[in-house]
Amino acid sequence: MTYLLQFCGVSDPLQLFYLEQSSVSQGPAFAGFRPFQLDALLEWALDTAQGRGWERDRIHSTVVDVWLERAEAIRQWQLRLVAEPDDRRLVAGLGTQHDWERRCEAMLLA
């Protein structure tokens, strides 16, 4: 199975809460990070994988590969986060291709 990790943007706590609650049982999982560091992202991703019955080895590989492939973009997100108010978090989403398709379809129907 293929897993997709996306960096969605910077969010305030209330919007992040709504996003996290909307993905508890289906669709991509979302979480906010500050600071935005690989160890925290990986810990969240592996915890999420365990809770959803996803393949932990593949999740680990996905997160590390994306971190390395998008190093410059991640650095830009980190710099932007420093400029944001202290309560803002960088939002990341993780899911299967099917999870992301359902999420996009649901947004179009809303």
Report pLDDT for 103.
86
Q: Kindly give the parts of the chain with pLDDT less than 50.
A: none
CB within 8 Å of 95: residues ≥ 6 apart: 3, 4, 23, 27, 28, 29, 103
Report pLDDT for 17.
93
Number of domains in the chain: 1
* Cα(26)–Cα(90) distance, integer angstroms: 21
Structural domain range at position 29: 3-109
- 96 three-state secondary structure: strand
Please provide residue 26's backbone torsions phi and psi, each rounded to the nearest 5 degrees. -150, 165
What pTM was estimated for this model as a whole?
0.91
31 exposed, middle or buried (CB, 10 Å; 0-12, 13-18, 19+)?
buried
Per-residue pLDDT reduced to its tens digit, 31-56: 999 999 999 999 999 999 999 999 99
